[in-house]
Amino acid sequence: MDLYQELILEHSKRPQHAGLRDPFEAEVHHVNPTCGDEVTMRVHVEDTPEGPVVRDVSYDALGCSISMASTSILAEETIGHPLAEALQTYEAMKAMLTSKGEDPGDEEVIGDGVALAGVARYPARVKCALLGWMAFTDALHQSGRETTAPETEEGTS
Amino acid sequence: MTAQPFTTEEVARIRADFPILARTVRDGAPLVYLDSGATSHKPVAVLDAERDFYERLNSAPHRGAHALSEEATAAYEGARERIAAFIGAQAQDVVFTKNATEALNLAAYAFSNSPHPGIPGSERFALGEGDEVLVTEMEHHANLVPWQELCRRTGATLRWVPVTDEGRLDLSGLDELLTERTRVVAFVHASNVLGTVNPAAEIVARAREVGALVVLDACQSVPHLGVDVTELDVDLLAFSGHKMFGPSGIGVLWGRRELLEAMPPFLTGGSMIETVRMEGSTYAPPPQRFEAGVPMTAQAIGLAAAVDYIDGIGGVDRIHAHELALTERLLAGLAARPWVTVVGPSDLESRGGTVAFVVDGVHAHDVGQVLDGSGVAVRVGHHCAWPLHRRFKVAATTRASFAAYNTVDEVDALLEALDRVPQIFGMAG
């Protein structure tokens, strides 16, 4: 069925960057109480002259293919990226997933995340796809980082 | 004579009474509704009964002396009598609540650290350190969390009966668990996940020996097995209307009369009082003591119509026989698929029409999504029994649960849709 794009199945079977690693500044545990999906996530953000950079997102997850794939894509799309960019990816993912199918997602911003566009048409599954992202922003918050995306140039004009 | 499953013609007639079963879902797939354990559909007779109340009698019962109020009171109390008769009870021992969760909370919140000074006999509802509450590992959260909270409030200790690999209660250690310290034993009659029907008589007998109060969660047994409160010999029993063709917003707590009389109220306010002064109040006798506020009148009347409907199609015995026949077919179909594991009893012994299973390597949410794509509605997740799922080391299960309106063809539709799971997720299937 259309929901289960090949990319989703691949990510859920072989989650990228899975496992819990050091170093990290914050570790969080998030659950989806309706279905019991769980994720433990650590983030490691380093300050550089160009601003903070996400050095690592490591996780131990148990869940459906949608939540597993979404968390795998999160790690892929944020590790090695400037924090500001990672937060924009988060905002774009959230916008797509909560758009009820209106927003197909921008591959330039969210990469493989576009494979999850179909989830937006199944309200019961949106939480599955957001689980890892909620953990990510919570971990950032707990490590004292800004968790709202800076406005893009378009946004400020 | 043993009750027989419904014939194909009988099921067709029953289905015609449920308008929702004619609808399609997801781009035209016929609805295959196998989630009646969560909530059942409502026959026209129930919808009509509710509508009729609002059209002809709408008013607040037990208030005012005008004609409508009198008629509404008669209808409300008539519903109580009808529902009481359905479980072998007296009307005055039936308390209406909004659902079984509220009924179980009513029971749990009747307990506190000290007896109620205005209610003789309420020392039975006083708990403290050293006292114990016994539940089981297969409880729905509604019959677990209120008791956890009670223990937290009073200092009592919560203990539980474990579950075997087969999905039955492991009563081998009951002598250590159920002792003189045990004040309350709260357990589920028929599991909402496993389908297991627990040996109520045995547990009640043991509880009686130590003088513990017995609270039974009968949500799945009143609609699907039939319940007679005098036969069961429990102290308090809870069930919901919406799982038995009745409306949402109505549940029942039945209680042994002398116990209800000694039981402090939970929700307080209007119409549950006897006298009210600024300095304090006294309370009405049961069941009014436990029905604060304007009650769920239309819902109670709707539930009475649901009970009439159940008896009209042949009664709970035939419903049970019908659901067991469907369960047998489903269990056989699942057993033929080595990539499926049933969580719960794999035979029909002491069993109801609820079947939970896992597909190896595929999360229940994904299984449910594939089934939904074919119009098959099942429940996925932990079904409000998270500790039970932890016990079986699974995050979630897929659950099919039957009602009188389900057909053999629907069981086959489920199995056929299930075969798409290994195709999509690329397992050996």
Which residue of chain A is at minimal alpha-carbon distance from B359?
Answer: A64
Asked whether residue A153 carries a pLDDT value surpassing 60, the answer given is no
**Domain A6-146: assigned CATH number:** 3.90.1010.10
The larger pLDDT score, comparing residue B193 to residue A102, is at B193
Q: Mean pLDDT for chain B? A: 96
pLDDT band, very low/low/confident/very high, at B427 (cuts 50, 70, 90): low
pLDDT band, very low/low/confident/very high, at A155 (cuts 50, 70, 90): very low
B382 neighbourhood in chain A, CB within 8 Å = 35-36
A2, A37, A39, A64: best to mutate for the B interface, most B CBs within 10 A? A64
Q: Mean pLDDT for chain A? A: 91
- pTM, two decimal places: 0.93
Q: Look at residue A152 in the predicted model and tell me its pLDDT.
A: 56
Question: Can you give the residue ranges of every domain in chain A?
Answer: 6-146
What residues of B are labeled active site?
A: 384
B364 neighbourhood in chain A, CB within 8 Å = 35, 64
Residue B352's nearest CA partner among B153, B188, B228, B165 is B188
Residue B342's nearest CA partner among B324, B325, B355, B330 is B355
Chain A contacts in chain B segment 149-188 (CB below 8 A): none
Q: Look at residue A33 in the predicted model and tell me its pLDDT.
A: 84
Residue A69's nearest CA partner among A137, A129, A109 is A129
Report ipTM (2 d.p.): 0.86
Cβ distance of A35 and B362 shorter than 8 Å: no
Q: Look at residue B377 in the predicted model and tell me its pLDDT.
A: 98
Edge to edge, what strands does the sheet with B182-188 contain? Answer: B94-97, B251-255, B236-240, B213-217, B182-188, B132-136, B157-161
A4 neighbourhood in chain B, CB within 8 Å = 366, 369, 424-425
What stretches of B212-366 adopt beta strand conformation (E)? 213-217, 236-240, 251-255, 273-277, 280-283, 340-343, 354-359
A125 neighbourhood in chain B, CB within 8 Å = 365, 369
Rounded to a whole number of angstroms, the distance from the CA of A24 to the nearest CA of chain B is 27
Yes or no: say if A87 and A107 are a contact pair by the CB < 8 Å rule.
no
Q: How far apart are CA A35 and CA A80, in angstroms?
A: 32
Asked whether residue B1 carries a pLDDT value surpassing 70, the answer given is no
pLDDT band, very low/low/confident/very high, at B347 (cuts 50, 70, 90): very high
Asked whether residue A151 carries a pLDDT value surpassing 70, the answer given is no
Rounded to a whole number of angstroms, the distance from the CA of B427 to the nearest CA of chain A is 11
Least confident of A45-59, A96-110, B30-44: A96-110
Asked whether residue A2 carries a pLDDT value surpassing 80, the answer given is no
CA dist list (Å): B205 to B110, B175, B198, B210: 23, 12, 13, 9
Q: Look at residue A111 in the predicted model and tell me its pLDDT.
A: 92
In sequence order, what are the residues at sequence separation of 6 or more whose Cβ sits closer than 8 angstroms to the Cβ of residue B23? B31
Average of per-residue pLDDT across B382-410: 96
Asked whether residue A157 carries a pLDDT value surpassing 50, the answer given is no
For chain A, say whether B385 makes contact (Cβ under 8 Å). no
Query: What's at B253, amino acid-wise?
Result: L
Cβ distance of B389 and A62 shorter than 8 Å: no
Average of per-residue pLDDT across A80-108: 94
**In the 8-state DSSP scheme, what is residue B22?**
G
Domains of chain B are: 8-42+315-424 (3.90.1150.10), 48-310 (3.40.640.10)
The string of pLDDT tens digits covering residues A18-63 is: 999 999 999 999 998 877 789 999 999 999 999 999 999 999 999 9
The string of pLDDT tens digits covering residues B38-89 is: 999 999 999 999 999 999 999 999 988 899 999 999 999 999 999 999 999 9
Asked whether residue B428 carries a pLDDT value surpassing 50, the answer given is no
Cβ distance of A36 and B362 shorter than 8 Å: no
Q: How far apart are CA B297 and CA B399, in angstroms?
A: 33
Rounded to a whole number of angstroms, the distance from the CA of B203 to the nearest CA of chain A is 31
Asked whether residue B35 carries a pLDDT value surpassing 60, the answer given is yes
B362 neighbourhood in chain A, CB within 8 Å = 65
Least confident of A31-35, B245-249, B283-287, B359-363: A31-35
Asked whether residue B394 carries a pLDDT value surpassing 50, the answer given is yes
Least confident of A139-153, B126-140, B307-321: A139-153
